[in-house]
Amino acid sequence: MTDTPDPDDLSAADRAALLRWRLAIGPGAEQALPAAALDQLAAGADGLGVDPDELGELDEVLAFVYDGARAGKAAARPYLPRWLGGLRKFFRKDVVAMVQQDAIDRRGLAELMFEPETLPFLDRNVELVATIMAARHLVPDQARDLARQIVREVVDDLRRQLEPEIRTAVLGAVRRDQHAPLPSLRNLDWPRTIRKNLGRWDADRKRLLADRLYFWKNQRRRQEWDVVLAVDQSGSMAQSVVYAAVMAAIFASLDVLRTRLCFFDTEVVDATPLLTDPVDVLFSTQLGGGTDINRAVAWAREHLVERPERTLFVLVSDLYEGGDAGQLVARMRELVESRARVLCVLALTDDGRPSYDHGLARELTAVGVACFGCTPRLLTDVVARVLRGQDPAPLLAAARAPHVTR
């Protein structure tokens, strides 16, 4: 058996490796090590600027986050100010941010996200914005401006990505029913031109000789459609809330649409007056709590739907109803029968994969409500098809969107 090397013979790299193994295995490693190996551990710690007598404190700092994976059980929650102080004592700033992010993910400590060392290092994405919105009551005064700035950065980036596509799709879909004498290829009314010139078909050359071309007018009517979004703000819908707010703000910027937005849990909040700024919309939400979809649909039907035959009603919810599911189905049927176009978006996320109440979704599908999960871009295409008077089902099937069919 090989003798245990003298601690003085260890290189700095060996000492660093030894300490990393000790931290990975935990304090239980010392119970199985001989005295000479414990001397090496102390040497490894001392060589990296860690007082060997402080290894126990370092263990406590790491055990809170990592003992569940290392020892098969979760560590007790420490006094957070003391834990944060210990973390800052042993690690440099970027490592502090990494460990705190692990604490957020593994231990559910959203409040750690707002520590000064953490916020600047977090990835700017929709998930982060959703977390900030859900835990913003925990934001300390000194971090509020930074938290809002991060939300602004993510929202502005999303808007830059989505707005050109939404504008193109919606404006291209709005019905144009007047014709213009001024020729423009992009305004050529192909169906009418072909229909009016069918008598001039040249069978020999197999081509249509058009005697007259017909063009759409290069104009559109204001607020031709109403778009009403009723968005479930329960905790499971957090990312969908972010995307819905951004898309609603873009819809509201288009003069061909009159856009209304409300959020709901067991209460309903009209966010329409805030649509000029999606960040204000997001900070008006209260993520979490119960869900009464039936009450929200009833409220939206009474207060937001004024001309159902020109209304696209979009319910954004996973359909985990805490209210009266039977009345909800009846109200949605009434909306369909009023000639409103009605959609139920089960999830509006990057992957469009919903977790939802399948039974209630089937009931809604049976009364004519298309239920599906989708990405923001797919929803843009679906909205464009609906505004053209087309059935979105073929598009959803082609995109293999998770949805319910009749």
Asked if 72 contacts 28 with a C-beta cutoff of 8 angstroms, the reply is no
DSSP classification of residue 33: S
Task: State the pLDDT at residue 31.
Answer: 56
Amino acid letter, 59? D
Report whether pLDDT(194) > 60.
yes
Please write down the long-range contacts of 97-105, taking CB distance under 8 Å and 24 or more positions apart.
97/121, 97/122, 99/61, 99/62, 99/65, 102/65, 102/66, 103/64, 103/65, 104/131
- Tokens 């159902």 correspond to 308
Task: State the pLDDT at residue 297.
Answer: 98
In 3D, which of 291, 288, 289, 276 has the Cα closest to residue 245?
276
What fold characterizes domain 225-404? Rossmann fold (3.40.50)
What pTM, to 2 d.p., does this model score?
0.71
Where in the chain are the domains? 7-142, 179-216, 225-404
Q: Among the ranges 3-12, 123-132, 309-318, which has the highest mean pLDDT value?
A: 309-318
Three-state SS sequence of 5-42: CCHHHCCHHHHHHHHHHHHHHCHHHHHHCCHHHHHHHH
What is the number of alpha carbons within 13 Å of residue 65 lying toward its C-beta? Answer: 23
Token output for 240 = 């969908």
User: In angstroms, how far is the first alpha carbon of the chain from the final one?
Assistant: 73
Mean pLDDT in residue range 33-47: 51
What are the helix and strand counts (H, E) for the chain? 15, 11
